[in-house]
Structure 1
Amino acid sequence: MISQDTLNFLKDVTLNNNREWFQDNKDRYDIARENVLDFTAAMIKELAKTDPGVADADPKKAVKRIYRDIRFSKDKTPYKNHFGIGLSSLNASKDTTGYYIHIMPGGSFAGGGYWQPTAEHIKAIRQEIDYNAAELKGIVDNPEYLKLFGNIRNENSLKTLPRGYEPTHPDISLLKIKDFIGMHTFTDAAIQKANSPQVVADVLAKIYPLNDFLNNAIA
Structure 2
Amino acid sequence: MAVIDISTLSFLKQLKENNNRDWFAAHKDEFQQEQKKAKSFYNAVMEQLKSHDAIESFKMFRIYRDVRFSSDKTPYKPHFAGNFVRATNKLRGGYYLRIRPGESFLAGGFWEPNKEDLLRIRKEFEMDATEIRKIMNHPTFVKYFGKLEGESLKTAPRGFDKEHPDMDLIRMKQFIVTRAFTDDEVLAPNFLAEINNSYKAMRPYFDYMSEILTTDLNGVSIIE
Instruction: Give the structure-1-normalised TM-score.
Output: 0.88
User: 1:92: how far off?
Assistant: 5.2
Q: Any residues of structure 2 matched to 1:137-216 within 5 Å, and which?
A: 137-152=133-148, 155-216=150-211
Give the distance between the partners of 1:124 and 1:90, measured in 2 at CA: 21
Measure, in 2, the Cα distance between the counterparts of 1:179 and 1:147: 21
Aligned length in residues:
211
Q: Is the 8 A contact 1:90 1:212 kept in 2?
A: no
Please name the residue that 1:75 is paired with: 72
Instruction: Identify unmatched segments of 5+ residues in structure 1.
Output: none
Asked if 2 retains the 8 angstrom alpha-carbon contact of 1:107 and 1:186, the reply is: yes
Shift of 1:215: 2.7
Report the CA distance between 1:142 and its aligned residue: 1.0
- Is the contact made by 2:81 and 2:98 (CA closer than 8 Å) also made in structure 1? yes
Q: Post-superposition shift, 1:132?
A: 4.2
Match of 1:30 among 29, 32, 35: 32
Shift of 1:211: 2.5
- What is the alpha-carbon root mean square deviation over aligned residues? 1.9
Amino acid at match of 1:107: E
- Bigger helix fraction: 1
Q: Answer whether contact 2:155 2:162 (CA < 8 A) is retained.
A: no
Out of 136, 139, 144, the residue aligned to residue 132 of structure 2 is 136
Q: Which residue does the alignment assign to 2:11?
A: 9
- Measured in 2, the distance between the counterparts of 1:200 and 1:121 equals 28
Q: Is it true that 1:39 corresponds to 2:36 in the alignment?
A: no
TM-score by length of 2: 0.86
CA distance in 2, matches of 1:181, 1:92: 19
Contact conserved, 1:156 with 1:178, CA < 8 A, in 2?
Answer: yes
CA distance in 1 between partners of 2:134 and 2:86 (Å): 20
Contact 1:44 1:201 in 2 (8 A): no
